[in-house]
Structure 1
Amino acid sequence: MGYKDNFKVVTKTLSNNILLAATSFKRFDKINFGNRMAIFKYPSGSPDSVIPRLIIWSPLPYSPNVLNVINEFSGVSSESNLDIAYVIVPDREHNLAAKLYKEKFPNTKIIGVENTENVPLDYTFIEKQGNKLISGETLKEFIDDELIYKNFDFVYLPYHANSELVVYEKNSKTLFEADLLFNLGDPNEKLEQFSPALGYPENYNPHFGWSFLTRYLQPYSKVGVFMFDKLVNLNKSKPGLEAIYSLDFNTIVMCHGNIITKDAKKAFKNVFLHS
């Protein structure tokens, strides 16, 4: 994988129960993509426990720096006392880190999509669940845990090249996606994932050399829109994309690039519902 040894992590608080953790990452060890995970924190639900239940979305590789972030956010100092209830693998390509979390925390349940390799999934979204909103009672029938069905909705896009599982956190009105949409090339923003906080020079240009084309991987680039539409298989995924757009989201958190906190639905519509 294209991570630095003992890679640094930069964090951003999205809400009182959601922390984002980002780092630099090179695809094929050459192309600057960056990567991000999210940690969700909810009450234990037990009057006898103050240890929160955690959900990790698109986990970064388990490392001392990542563990420190989890510990600090959870308020639990001991690794052995952490309650990581679920790990969400957002598509078939973001599958390499999840297995170790299962090994470290055997009670963790892993949510993912069909044909995901090297990960022992406990809940697997399959094609017949695809291209529609999985929410409420329907979600409860699939994952009977109020931690999941009270706080989240899902839309599985089986015809996306990487089989994308889009997650919606209801309380924060935030959409979480891995490879559906990148936001690497906004000329008005510096990339958090290649920032001084991670050891890069103040004026570092992440789009040079092999990474030249990444400047077009953003929602208002014609090149980017063309590529995202091809990856998702726009015609076959249209019902799922419309289901996503129907959600009341105001923020998009993606793995690759800066999160979108302004006009998020406009950006989504411009990419996927423009025709």
Structure 2
Amino acid sequence: MSSKLVPANPSEVMVIRNVTPNIVTFSVPFMRFGKFPIGGRGTPVKLSSGSLAVFSPVALTPEARAKVQEMGGDLRYIVALDAEHHIFLSTWARAFPDAKLIGPAGLPEKRARMADDDDMIGREPFAVVFPSRTSKVEIDPEDFDRDFAYEFVDAHPNKELVFFYRPDRVLIEADLMFNLPANEQYSRAPGGSPTNMGMLARIFSSFQTTEGDAKGMKRFLWYVISRGDRKGFNESIQRINSWDFDTIIPCHGDTIQGNAKAVFEKVFAWHLQGHK
């Protein structure tokens, strides 16, 4: 059941932070497989029109709902950034019934299979589903598409959607790139720092950190994540790198501000340079 993955007291552990005047993050602790402290993060964004989009939403706590209202309250888009970040879609869709659900190919079918046995997963219809990276997809040409560029990295096993919010030069992504340790996401959690959670957690983090030369992450991305379709993966990375971002908001680990483009180019250097 998805409910087992949710903190018992999300209001007490959630960190709400304004990253830019138009972008807020809701950061929470989250343990992958019950062993690896990778954290979770939802990101509401205020568009130039005044409408709102939320990416990979986490628990809709009273504090999170109040923040959405503070941002104007007109939530029109609920985006699952990949096939794994969808647990709270139904919660948000019920609270904002006029919002469009957006996600990658395969997710509506996955949720339909889960719905009978999981009380957090509903059967809400998706307004936009990305079928492949080569397909032309429009979300809302008169609103959403004016502010965002996006890439469907369907060569990634989790079917990643990556969004670039042009007005604030911010890249929003889920599992394409981690930035562990998840310090902010665990800053209000009982037990404190995610770096004090055992040898397995430290080993996992060594493959999911952007620190130093990021050699562990480079190897993980090259030999594990992109091995099924490296050409397609490289093409997506090259398109994303063409965007002029200076901040990256990942779902797992700390937000990278100011030097995000340089960090991205370091982590994905082999995909950008044609590593053999």
* Shorter-normalised TM range: 0.7 to 0.9
Q: Distance in 2 between matches of 1:28 and 1:224?
A: 19
What does 1:9-28 align with in structure 2 at a 5 Å threshold?
9-28=14-33
Counterpart contact for 1:32–1:206, Cα < 8 Å: no
Instruction: Give the Å deviation of 1:22.
Output: 0.4
Counterpart contact for 1:10–1:198, Cα < 8 Å: no
Counterpart contact for 1:13–1:19, Cα < 8 Å: yes
Displaced runs of 4 or more, over 4 A: none
| Residue 29 (str. 1) matches residue 25 (str. 2) | no
| Residue 89 (str. 1) matches residue 80 (str. 2) | yes
- Percent of residue pairs identical: 26
Deviations along 1:100-120, one digit per CA (max 9) or x if unpaired, are 211222211011110012263
Instruction: Give the Å deviation of 1:260.
Output: 1.1
Q: Would you say how many aligned residue pairs link Structure 1 and Structure 2? A: 246
What does 1:258-273 align with in structure 2 at a 5 Å threshold?
258-273=254-269
Correspondence for 2:96: 105
Q: Distance in 1 between matches of 2:237 and 2:214?
A: 19
Which segment drifts farther, 226-235 or 260-269? Answer: 226-235
Structure 2: which amino acid aligns with 1:247?
W
Counterpart contact for 1:192–1:258, Cα < 8 Å: yes
| Residue 68 (str. 1) matches residue 66 (str. 2) | yes
Correspondence for 1:212: 202
Distance change in 2, residues 1:42/1:237 (3 Å) = closer
Instruction: Give the Å deviation of 1:261.
Output: 1.3
Counterpart contact for 1:207–1:215, Cα < 8 Å: no
1:255 partner SS: coil
Instruction: Give the Å deviation of 1:259.
Output: 1.0
Q: Distance in 2 between matches of 1:126 and 1:111?
A: 12
Deviations along 1:43-96, one digit per CA (max 9) or x if unpaired, are 6x5xxxxxx42210110033334323333x325xxxxxx421001110001111
| Residue 53 (str. 1) matches residue 51 (str. 2) | yes
Segments of 5+ residues of structure 1 without an aligned counterpart are: 46-51, 76-81, 131-137
Structure 2: which amino acid aligns with 1:238?
N
Distance change in 2, residues 1:262/1:65 (3 Å) = same
Instruction: Give the Å deviation of 1:213.
Output: 2.1
Q: Distance in 2 between matches of 1:92 and 1:67?
A: 24
- Aligned CA-pair RMSD: 2.2
Q: Distance in 2 between matches of 1:165 and 1:84?
A: 19
Deviations along 1:23-57, one digit per CA (max 9) or x if unpaired, are 111112222010111111246x5xxxxxx422101
1:221 to 214, 218, 238: 214
Instruction: Give the Å deviation of 1:97.
Output: 1.1
Which segment drifts farther, 176-185 or 61-70? Answer: 61-70
Instruction: Give the Å deviation of 1:200.
Output: 4.3
Counterpart contact for 1:194–1:206, Cα < 8 Å: no
Structure 2: which amino acid aligns with 1:114?
A
1:114 to 105, 111, 122: 105
2:159 to 147, 163, 169: 163
Structure 2: which amino acid aligns with 1:242?
Q
2:256 partner SS: coil
Correspondence for 1:193: 185
Distance change in 2, residues 1:27/1:120 (3 Å) = farther
Give the alignment's TM-score, normalised by structure 1. 0.81
Structure 2: which amino acid aligns with 1:23?
V
Distance change in 2, residues 1:232/1:66 (3 Å) = farther
Q: Distance in 2 between matches of 1:27 and 1:215?
A: 12
| Residue 241 (str. 1) matches residue 237 (str. 2) | yes
1:150 partner SS: helix
Correspondence for 1:154: 150
Give the alignment's TM-score, normalised by structure 2. 0.81
Distance change in 2, residues 1:214/1:206 (3 Å) = farther
Counterpart contact for 1:183–1:256, Cα < 8 Å: yes
